Structure 1
Amino acid sequence: MSTQSVVTAIRVLEAVSDNQPAGLSELSREVDVPKATVLRMLRTLGELGWVAQSEAQAGKWVLTNHAFAVASRGSSGSVIRDAAMGPLNALQLDTTETVHLAVPDRGYMLIIERLDTPHVLRAFLPLGSRLPMHASSTGIAYLSAADDAFVDEYLAGQLEALTPQTVVDAAQLRVMIADTRARGYSINEQGLSTGITSIGVPLLGSGGVAAGSISISGPSSRIVPAKYQEYGEAAAGTALEISRALGAFSTKAY
């Protein structure tokens, strides 16, 4: 396989990940190559166990469990997940709301773990979801711990509105980031999904460098302003425990 074919195959794989379940026409537009080429790449990736046709939607393609397993092994995400699982379980039991664990992925936050609430009405993000940083509590939390150069570069890019409440003004986002740093947790009221409110806190890795974030998410009817401080402080305590396990011996205030 030529270098260009490898590049195209990887782009197709990424397009499936971003749009799954994804159809042939959609993938062809996404990677800007002919359908015949995309189909050939899909068949090759399918033979290798990376993608498969969706059982629920004919003609659509999805990533396989093999793809997720390979991506997880040896990654920084797996180290963070290992350190986080115990504290996150305790946080979920304490709050009874959905808890997410996310790591940065090229301007997005990648959901690598989710602990579900027993409530029927709940926040739900599939594992592997990529959330725009400006539109998510995990993203704003991460930006609050990131260095200024990273924040400047991110805010200079195109900021898409996912709901009517998504903040896309760079100046407003800077205020949100500063507020998050000051109080120790982010608050996202329906900026990612209508009817869902989330509280986020950053995770620090070795040397106090931003490594990821966690969030408590649920219906806005349950996560009301009176709960923000309680949940924010609970998430901050959990994040501090995880960060210590990751080697972040920092005096940075949560």
Structure 2
Amino acid sequence: MRHNARQPPSVVERVLDVLGAFTAERPELTLSELSRRAGLPLSTTHRIAGELVRRGALARDEHGRFRVGLWLWEVASLAPHDAELRESAMPFLEDLYEATHQNVQLAVLDAPEVVYVERISGRGAVGIRSRPGGRLPVHATGVGLVLLAHAPAEVQEEALAAPLKRYSAHTIASADRLRRVLADVRRDGYAISDRQIEPDAVSVAAPVYGRDDAVLAAISVVVPVEGAEPRTLVPAVVAAARGISRVLGAPRALRVSGDARRETH
């Protein structure tokens, strides 16, 4: 619940509380679970959930359990980051996947987290927590480090001042270390996140630029630690990110493309 508990929530806030009760860990809920997680009376939850089912925002199975409906997916696909970015990125993500048959991801910043817009994963790919529409913290992911490194100074300082959740012995857990890593990412143009969340996975990430040459998104490849040589993946990831940036009209990517063509003649 995100409303002010000192005053009664509005109708809109109640609806958002119901929708916000669903998570990746709990994608299906009974009416009583939905009521409890939304912090609303059972009768209120029943009325709101019924209307959401009628509108297609929620679906209800034969056992009476609720889940997110297809209508919400249709609305979510209209998010400004999604359509052009995903369409521009997919050919390059598919190329990266064909080269690795591991996890290839596209993410955007919603500080203090990243939101995954797309993920391609092979049957034998290393297991990871990310999923399309899912969130993970900026400090513990390759895409997050890239996005935070290029975020406005005030966003960086908020992230540096916040507690840094530790997922493994390798997670960045101090502000000083995070500050140094972000400086390295800006200098190098890519990030390597080594076993920060999953103990057997390493991520290589690079920034995607938009028309104003600001970082719009980040892409990454996540591979198993065993036998991995992450730096050998850097050129492919950076090239794919540059390709997406070029399609999106980023001036810096267009300049690089033109310089490369001149060097071949």
Compute the TM-score of the two structures, normalised by the length of structure 2: 0.81
- SS of alignment partner, residue 165 of structure 1: coil
The 1:90/1:120 distance shift into structure 2, 3 A limit, reads closer
The 1:124/1:150 distance shift into structure 2, 3 A limit, reads closer
Q: Describe the superposition over 1:14-72 as per-residue Cα deviations: whole angstroms up to 9, x where unpaired.
A: 332465325356655554433443343323222211122478xx665432333122111
Structure 1: how far apart are the matches of 2:135 and 2:249? 26
The residue aligned with 1:20 is: 26
The residue aligned with 2:104 is: 99
Tell me if the contact between 1:21 and 1:60 (Cα under 8 Å) persists in the aligned partners: no
Q: Does 1:34 align with 2:34?
A: no
Paired AA for residue 132 in structure 2: L
Structure 1: how far apart are the matches of 2:37 and 2:110? 19
The 1:219/1:244 distance shift into structure 2, 3 A limit, reads same
Q: More deviation in 99-108 or 231-240? A: 99-108
Q: Percent identity?
A: 29
The 1:39/1:201 distance shift into structure 2, 3 A limit, reads farther
5+ residue gaps, structure 2:
1-7, 257-265
Paired AA for residue 210 in structure 1: V
- Which runs of at least 4 in structure 1 moved beyond 6 Å after TM superposition? none
The residue aligned with 2:67 is: 62
Structure 1: how far apart are the matches of 2:202 and 2:99? 18
The residue aligned with 1:6 is: 12
The root-mean-square deviation of aligned C-alpha atoms, in Å, is 2.8
Structure 2: how far apart are the matches of 1:54 and 1:123? 29
Q: Does 1:187 align with 2:192?
A: yes
The residue aligned with 2:94 is: 89
Q: Does 1:216 align with 2:218?
A: no
Q: More deviation in 235-244 or 36-45? A: 36-45
Shift of 1:183: 2.1
Structure 2: how far apart are the matches of 1:45 and 1:126? 24
Q: Which has the larger radius of gyration?
A: 2
Q: Does 1:236 align with 2:238?
A: yes
Structure 1: how far apart are the matches of 2:194 and 2:61? 33
The 1:122/1:193 distance shift into structure 2, 3 A limit, reads closer
Tell me if the contact between 1:111 and 1:128 (Cα under 8 Å) persists in the aligned partners: yes
* Count of equivalent residues: 247
Q: More deviation in 79-88 or 152-161? A: 152-161
Q: Does 1:109 align with 2:114?
A: yes
Choose which of 138, 145, 149 in structure 2 pairs with 1:144: 149
5+ residue gaps, structure 1:
none
- SS of alignment partner, residue 249 of structure 2: coil
The residue aligned with 2:77 is: 72
Structure 2: how far apart are the matches of 1:121 and 1:153? 32
